[in-house]
Chain A
Amino acid sequence: MSTEVKPSWTASWLPFISNWQTGLAAPVLVKEAPYLAILPWLVSVGVIFLTLSGLVLAVYYSPAHAFESIQFIDRNVHNGWLVQSFHETGASMVFGAAYLALLRGLWVRGYKAPFAAVWIWRMAIFGLLLIAGWIGFTLSGGAMADWSLTRAAQAALLLTGAPGAFGTWFFGGPNGAGTLPRMLVFHLILGVLVLGGVAAANSARKAVTPVPPRGAVAFHPYYTTQYFVALSVFALIFAVLVFFAPRFGQPFLNLVPADPLVVPAKLLFPWYLAPLSGLGSLLPGIYGGIIGVVGGLGVLFALPWLDRSGPNYRPGALYKFLTLVLALDVLGLGWAASTSSGLGSVLVMVFGFWYFLHFLVLTPLVTAMEAE
């Protein structure tokens, strides 16, 4: 446009802007990537949004009066009800995108070489999100949340050795006046760690993505529209939940303030924690719970090695069918862990057994079979 030799003001004082612009315009992306490849990006956008709304909530939140301070935010802070709903529903949206991204990763075998490092980082983000999600749930100070924290802290006290020492350090003894303040600090630290994990996963992805030599396109203008459409759909679902179902997926008993003398008949969790709580109840005892949760996440980390097919192998029909069955299995596991009927505990055993069977037996078997 201009023929001046003099560099622009932004070029001399804010060079990162021009770097960013040329980065967006550099042709490094494959043509016609599928829409669903956007899901990890939506998780990142959601995490940044949760950070912003969480910082606003942290200004008013008081762990000594957890339930009352959230009531105060809802009633006395300007637009506080909206910011609180942004955070609560935003968590649901982030987990929705994360679960879908996980399913798509299984479907297209996104964990295969050379993407194993990207997969490990994304699973680390997923694990950190689950811990941050549980701690955020306990911060609500509702009946379910408080009892969940009480049980966890009591279990930590019963452990011996290194796990017991870590548990006592983490919870600071039984659930009391000092527990929620440290949960708040851990929640904030985990939020920062998730942002760091997003950066690590992005750099890992950039390191292994081959630059297509022919026909590569730039992010802008070829993908901006696609991302904008995906974000619009995401925002539309988010808006519907915020304004019409602000407590979506939360146990309704959590809307009652915690009472140490009234024990809920069954511990219930938000929908995004329910499948993991089901895995935690598979085996008896405290160590059984830990093995269930850690094992449930561990098999996801181990997927690059559980899959026995070669790097250039395309997924077969049986594998895809089993992946869909696994998706239904996890949904069923979450439902069974959240129902109070007697059938629930039996179904948790069945669905939990199938979960581990899928990863530890069926995945190596079917991928090795189909690779031949």
Chain B
Amino acid sequence: MAETALDAVGHGTQSRREFLHILTIATGAVGAAAVLWPLVDALGPDADSDAAGHMIVNVAAIAENTAMTVTWNGLPVYIRKLTAKQIADNEFVVPGSLPDPAGYTDRVKPGYESFVVVVGLNTGTPCELEGNDPSDPRGPYDGWLCPCDGSVYDPLGRVRSGPAKKNLAIPHFTFLNNAQIQFG
């Protein structure tokens, strides 16, 4: 009778066997997962691709009124340093009057307002834009001009006229300090 009483509260051979059963299956599952995880993890980006995807660019050397081109994720990215006049001209433009409404603060990072970082591809006909160098043709807004379909962008990368209807895309990036930005 004592045996039966123990069985009733879960101390018998049967419940012990079930516990071992569950324990074994659980341990086996953990082991199988631990073997399979490296195979899955290895197919993620390797260290080189990872570093290229989180590229750090030094922007301290960019002169005012010019832009540098870097390749990130296979795209040409323009990093432009604005002049005081270009900021003044574009700071208070009413967003509603633009083809693709966007305010000044939408296009620059707070604290680093003189830098504009955009993907340098025309949003109409996919074509690399001109205007990084002060001697390039830049159009009436002193920004960028598309040599293929004539779309005109202002220095903040907002479309002003032309077949293109969208502003230039802004890649994902953060300022690490005054001199460095990190993509990704």
Q: A81 → chain B, closest Cβ, in Å?
A: 9
Q: What residues of chain A lie closer than 8 Å to B46, measured between beta carbons?
A: 60, 72, 76-78, 80
Give the residue name and chain of the B residue nearest to A82 (CB).
B38
Contact with B39, one of A56, A60, A228 (Cβ below 8 angstroms):
A56
Confirm or deny: A52 has a beta carbon within 8 angstroms of a beta carbon on chain B.
Answer: yes
B24 cross-chain contacts in A, Cβ below 8 A: 228
Cβ of B88 within 8 Å of any chain A Cβ, yes or no, is no
Indicate whether B106 reaches chain A with its CB closer than 8 angstroms. Answer: no
How many A residues, CB 8 Å from partner?
A: 17
Q: Is the CB of B44 within 8 A of A78?
A: yes
Task: Tell me the A55-88 residues at the B interface (CB within 8 Å).
Answer: 56, 59-60, 72, 75-80, 82-83, 86
CB neighbours (8 Å) of B44 from chain A are 78
Interface check A245, CB cutoff 8 A: no
Most chain B CB within a 10 A radius of its CB, from A59, A79, A235 = A79
Q: Which residues of A have CB within 8 Å of B42?
A: 56, 59, 77-80, 82-83
Q: Is B43's CB within 8 Å of the partner chain A? A: yes
Q: Which of B133-183 contact A (CB under 8 A)?
A: none
Which residues from chain B contact A59 at a C-beta distance below 8 Å?
Answer: 42-43
Chain B, 3-43, contact with A by CB distance < 8 Å: what is the 0/1 string?
00000000000000000000010001001000101110111
Contact between A79 and B47 (Cβ–Cβ < 8 Å)? Answer: no
Chain A CB within 10 Å — which of B37, B47, B48 has the most? B47
Q: Which residues of B contact A60 (CB under 8 A)?
A: 46
Shortest Cβ gap from B26 to chain A (Å): 13
Contacts of A86 in B (CB 8 A): 35, 38-39
Contact A83 B31, CB 8 Å, known A56-B43, A78-B44:
no
Measured in the bound complex, the distance between the Cα atoms of B39 and A86 in whole Å is: 9
Whole-angstrom distance from the CB of B47 to the nearest CB of chain A? 4
Interface contacts (Cβ under 8 Å), in number, total: 39
- Distance of A114 Cα from B76 Cα, bound (Å): 70
With both chains docked as a complex, state the minimum distance between the C-beta of B16 and any C-beta of chain A, in angstroms. Answer: 16
Whether, in the assembled complex, A154 has its beta carbon less than 8 Å from a beta carbon of chain B, the answer is no
Residues of B within 8 A of A228 (CB): 24, 28
**CB <8 Å contact, B48 and A83:** no
Contact (Cβ within 8 A) A53 B39 = yes
Contact check, B31 vs A235: say whether CB atoms are below 8 A apart.
Answer: yes
- Docked Cα-Cα span, A212 to B39, in Å, equals 41
Q: Which of B24, B31, B39, B48 has the most CB of A within 10 A?
A: B39
CA–CA, A270 and B42, complex, Å: 26
Please state if A79 and B38 are interface contacts (CB–CB under 8 Å).
Answer: yes
Distance, CA A77 to CA B44, complexed state (A): 8
**Are A76 and B47 touching (Cβ within 8 A)?**
yes
What mask results when residues 32 to 61 of chain A are scored 1 for a CB within 8 Å of chain B, else 0? 000000000000000000001100100110
Q: For the complex, give the distance between the alpha carbons of A317 and B80 in Å.
A: 89
Contacts of A75 in B (CB 8 A): 47
Cα distance A53–B35 in the bound complex, in angstroms: 10
A231 and chain B: residue at smallest CB distance: B28
CB distance from A195 to the nearest CB of B (A): 17
Q: Complex Cα distance A75/B35, Å?
A: 19
Interface residues of A in 184-229 (CB under 8 A from B): 228
For the complex, give the distance between the alpha carbons of A52 and B38 in Å: 11
Question: Whole-angstrom distance between the alpha carbons of A83 and B41 in the complex?
Answer: 10
* Other-chain residue from A53, A76, A78 in contact with B41 (beta carbon distance below 8 A): A78
Q: What are the residues of chain A within 8 A of B31 when measuring CB–CB?
A: 235
Residue of A nearest to B34 (CB): A239
Nearest opposing residue in chain B for A221, CB measure? B21
Q: Which residue of A lies closest to B31 (CB)?
A: A235
Name the residue of chain B whose CB is nearest to the CB of A49: B35
Q: Considering the complex, give the chain B residue whose CB is closest to the CB of A229.
A: B24
A79–B45 Cα distance when bound, in Å, is: 11
4 interchain residue pairs of minimum CB distance: A79-B38, A76-B47, A82-B38, A77-B46
Interface residues of A (CB under 8 A from B): 52-53, 56, 59-60, 72, 75-80, 82-83, 86, 228, 235
Q: 12 interchain pairs (CB within 8 A)?
A: A52-B39, A53-B39, A56-B42, A59-B42, A78-B44, A79-B37, A79-B41, A80-B42, A80-B46, A82-B42, A83-B39, A86-B39
Apart from A56-B43, A78-B46, what 7 extra A-B contacts exist at CB < 8 Å?
A53-B39, A77-B47, A78-B42, A79-B37, A79-B41, A82-B42, A83-B39
